Structure 1
Amino acid sequence: MNLDIDFIRSQYPVFANPDTARWAMFENAGGSYVPRQVIDRLHEFFQFTKVQPYGPFEASIKAGEAMEAGYRAMAGLLNCDPDELTLGPSTTMNFYVLAQAIRPLLEPGDEIIVTNQDHEANIGCWRRLAEFGAVIREWQIDPQTGELAIEDLKSLVGKRTRLVCFTLCSNIVGTMHDFNAICDIAHDAGALAIGDGVSFAPHRVLDVNKSGLDLYLFSTYKTFGTHLGVMWGKPSVLDTLEPQGHYFNRDLPHYKFNPAGPLHAQIGALAGIEEYIDTLYDHHFDDAAPGFHAQAARVFDLFSEHETVQANRVLAAIRAIPGARIIGQDPAVEGSRAATIAFTLDGMRCSDVVKRLVEKHIAVRNGHFYALRCIEALGIQDTDEGIIRISLVHYNTEEEVSRLVKGLESL
């Protein structure tokens, strides 16, 4: 079955506006467009229920119901219980709060493994714990390929390893890691496995109960929703962590690890993601899968197939440019590489490449994308210039990719 791109794009107001539709959006890893289902719920919340939720009067009751629908939608996507979720303002903030919740469990000399491939959100918060006696051990990438080797992780874990923190998919290299294998190594050492799914979640659906992870975080503003971060944890793990919210919220789900007030309207609008995926499922499939998670997984399988085909067209165009260096796997294999492609060109500044593509209404960016340690490890000298990043998602069309390919050929 082929993905109906025209139907998908009909769900997005941005593509109906001539001024915005002329842009081919290839900076989706920085933040995705939002379908009407999410926009409508956000608009309705601000119009009619922008009051303190969970109160006794009608608008407050409806506001609380909208928020609960948002929690249920994210829980359904991950195949977990809503009480296992914390929705904070961003994944970076959620990681910081999580690190503070874990800190009391660590003793001086306990070891934390981080990578130099991750977004800084899943590095900096853990490195700060060295101030309290934690020992940081770095799982390093291959400086040529940008890849992480499982064997290298095995040599890092030991009796004092308490946390293994890694990304399910790099926002630079694009590789989707074998997270089950990584989690097994962590657990064999008696450590928790903590996964950053920000660059994974726009492309694949994760069943957290089958993932092996103990804690999983991702961002909804990169998965077609409002600007929030989702944190999931196993109940048995969450129960051991130090609450970070107000003392009277110590035992309340959603609030225990959220020191700030939740963003009511943005949480309520997340139910629109479920509505959007349901709409796509009903359009593409005749049968009824058992539950939202299963439906989402089938829809995202279609996304992945489409994205991989288009990613390989982009990789081929970059490969044909003299002096091009592609970071990560080439060609793309479905389930192994996300459609997030980073590259550099010998003799041409990344910002100049971006400028020439932007002049053709092709939206891309360059820089280190908060993965500065990865850029440095790859031997890229000018880290402000960094790399050029092209990131596709399911609503990118074959025609848009053709425009991008022509733009790359002109380089």
Structure 2
Amino acid sequence: MPTLDLDFVRQQFPAFAEPSLQGTAFFENAGGSYMCKQVMGRFETYFRQLKLQPYYPNSASSKAGDWMDEGYSALAPWLNVSADDIYFGPSTSQNTYVLANAVHRWLQPGDEIIVTNQDHEANSGVWRRLADRGVIVREWQVNPENGKLDVKALENIFTSKSKLLVFPHCSNILGEINPVAEICRLARAYGIRTIVDGVSFAGHGLPDFKKLGADIYLFSLYKVYGPHQGVMVIGRDMAELLGNEGHFFNADIREKRLMPAGPDHAQIAATKGVADYFESLYVHHFGLKGMTSPEQKATAVRSLLHDAEASLLAPLIEYLNQHPSVRVIGPEGTEGRAPTVSITVQGYEPLQLAEKLGLEGFFCGAGHFYSYRLLKALNIDPSLGVLRFSMVHYTSANDVAQLIDALDRLI
């Protein structure tokens, strides 16, 4: 496995050449990543040449439609799905609202949905609201000491009425990666469908949907170097259970059934740029004569990103664990962990530290990050929240070293 070429990577992101951002380090990637130039290029071309209604019988309109179609077909191989399994929407939060309505057309009063208190509220609140329509909501609760979801406890929650389990691939506070394939296999053995929130995982390498075994997988492209779009990957047998949420006359148009407001033409067209970026990573690091199947390419790029991020995470975790004033929220090690690290610091409010770091050019976040229920379970005041550092593969080792130096001075 080659080592990630950071110089090449950063050349793909205009933010690193932006004069106003020189001397800064971006540590809030879990909130949204920088956009790659491949996506920006498609936006620029689309708005300049193709900003009109797509799919009409003229050259510009036909090309606009073709570019939108490419958004589906180009992304699909990196997820190991077909283009017909991909649905777009304005954001993952909005997509879950639509899905909750679509799922309700399948569920009956008295059926059960299992939620967690580890999730971002987007994959929690919408399902809990179905209780108002007669659905029974049960909660898979985290360990209050470490925030972990115990898979062994899950079978005790299942009943003969359980129909749907929703849970996160990775917590945006803990950084811990849940064993999705194991959980989905267990749920399927009981005839329970699964919806996985992958927003906090996907930026670290798009997952193999088939290997995970989920019925629906959700993520946000603006955290995967792309446009502000939400993606729903939905297995075909699950899609058949969902009601139409679009106009009645569009019920048979797959792309519109779960998009009540209609598609954002330019953003869907620009999505191919995400796939183009991953392709450029593959070609640069492995060459044209390397592995050729889409699944092998995706696996290789995913491993490349993972190895790069693991090397960034290790020194930061090591420093924070040894500091007497710092509490690391979630796993103390690097194994099974995304490079998202949340902490509390004795004697400091998270926002206070985020502001001080921001003045020194370190862009990080503070708050509850929509994981309000998780912080309550961990006995952390959600109104104060945590200080969060989130990295991706374009973060440099020097960024991390300088962050550690700054923290050492400040606390």
Could you tell me the TM-score, scaled by structure 1's length? 0.97
Aligned mates of 2:249, 2:75 — CA distance in 1: 25
Aligned mates of 2:110, 2:196 — CA distance in 1: 23
Shift of 1:330: 1.5
Q: Secondary structure at the match of 1:405?
A: helix
Aligned mates of 1:49, 1:168 — CA distance in 2: 37
Match of 2:262 in 1: 261
Gaps of 5+ in 1: none
2:186 equivalent to 1:199: no
The total of aligned residue pairs comes to 408
Match of 2:395 in 1: 396
Report Cα offsets for 1:39-74 as digits up to 9, x if no partner: 000110001100000011111011001101111122
Match of 2:315 in 1: 313
Match of 1:291 in 2: 293
Aligned mates of 1:226, 1:241 — CA distance in 2: 26
Letter in 1 for 2:133: F
Match of 1:174 in 2: 175
Cα pair 2:205 2:301 within 8 Å, conserved: no
Match of 1:386 in 2: 385
Match of 2:349 in 1: 349
Aligned mates of 1:9, 1:402 — CA distance in 2: 18
Which has the larger displacement, 247-256 or 111-120?
A: 247-256
Aligned mates of 2:290, 2:52 — CA distance in 1: 37
2:371 equivalent to 1:366: no
Letter in 2 for 1:259: P
Letter in 2 for 1:119: H
Which has the larger displacement, 108-117 or 24-33?
A: 108-117
Q: Secondary structure at the match of 1:254?
A: helix
Q: Secondary structure at the match of 2:331?
A: coil
Q: Secondary structure at the match of 2:167?
A: strand
Cα pair 1:317 1:409 within 8 Å, conserved: no
Cα pair 1:91 1:230 within 8 Å, conserved: yes
CA RMSD of aligned residues (A): 1.1
Letter in 1 for 2:280: T
Match of 1:326 in 2: 328
Aligned mates of 1:230, 1:75 — CA distance in 2: 11
Letter in 1 for 2:401: S
Match of 2:282 in 1: 281
Q: Secondary structure at the match of 2:104?
A: helix
Q: Secondary structure at the match of 2:165?
A: strand
Shift of 1:289: 2.3
Cα pair 1:217 1:230 within 8 Å, conserved: yes
Cα pair 2:246 2:259 within 8 Å, conserved: yes
Letter in 2 for 1:375: L
2:251 equivalent to 1:250: yes
Aligned mates of 2:264, 2:293 — CA distance in 1: 27
Cα pair 1:84 1:253 within 8 Å, conserved: no
Q: Secondary structure at the match of 1:200?
A: helix
Match of 2:33 in 1: 32
Aligned mates of 1:71, 1:252 — CA distance in 2: 15
Match of 2:104 in 1: 103
Aligned mates of 1:288, 1:251 — CA distance in 2: 41
2:151 equivalent to 1:143: no
Match of 1:339 in 2: 339
Aligned mates of 1:235, 1:162 — CA distance in 2: 17
Aligned mates of 1:297, 1:226 — CA distance in 2: 23
Cα pair 1:85 1:253 within 8 Å, conserved: no
Aligned mates of 2:241, 2:252 — CA distance in 1: 12
Cα pair 1:87 1:258 within 8 Å, conserved: yes
Q: Secondary structure at the match of 1:317?
A: helix
Cα pair 2:100 2:126 within 8 Å, conserved: yes
Aligned mates of 2:211, 2:260 — CA distance in 1: 29
2:191 equivalent to 1:190: yes
Aligned mates of 2:402, 2:185 — CA distance in 1: 43
Shift of 1:293: 4.1
**Identical aligned residues as a percent:** 41
2:275 equivalent to 1:303: no
Aligned mates of 2:11, 2:22 — CA distance in 1: 12
1:41-190 superposed matches below 5 A: 41-190=42-191
Aligned mates of 2:306, 2:104 — CA distance in 1: 38
Cα pair 1:317 1:408 within 8 Å, conserved: no
Letter in 2 for 1:107: Q
Cα pair 1:171 1:199 within 8 Å, conserved: yes
Match of 1:409 in 2: 408
Aligned mates of 1:21, 1:35 — CA distance in 2: 17
Aligned mates of 1:18, 1:346 — CA distance in 2: 36
Cα pair 2:91 2:228 within 8 Å, conserved: yes
Match of 2:238 in 1: 237
Match of 1:20 in 2: 21
Report Cα offsets for 1:243-264 as digits up to 9, x if no partner: 1111111111211111111011
Letter in 2 for 1:310: L
Shift of 1:369: 0.3
Shift of 1:316: 1.6
Cα pair 2:215 2:238 within 8 Å, conserved: yes
Shift of 1:21: 3.1
Q: Secondary structure at the match of 1:175?
A: coil
Aligned mates of 2:346, 2:92 — CA distance in 1: 34
Q: Secondary structure at the match of 1:94?
A: helix
Gaps of 5+ in 2: none
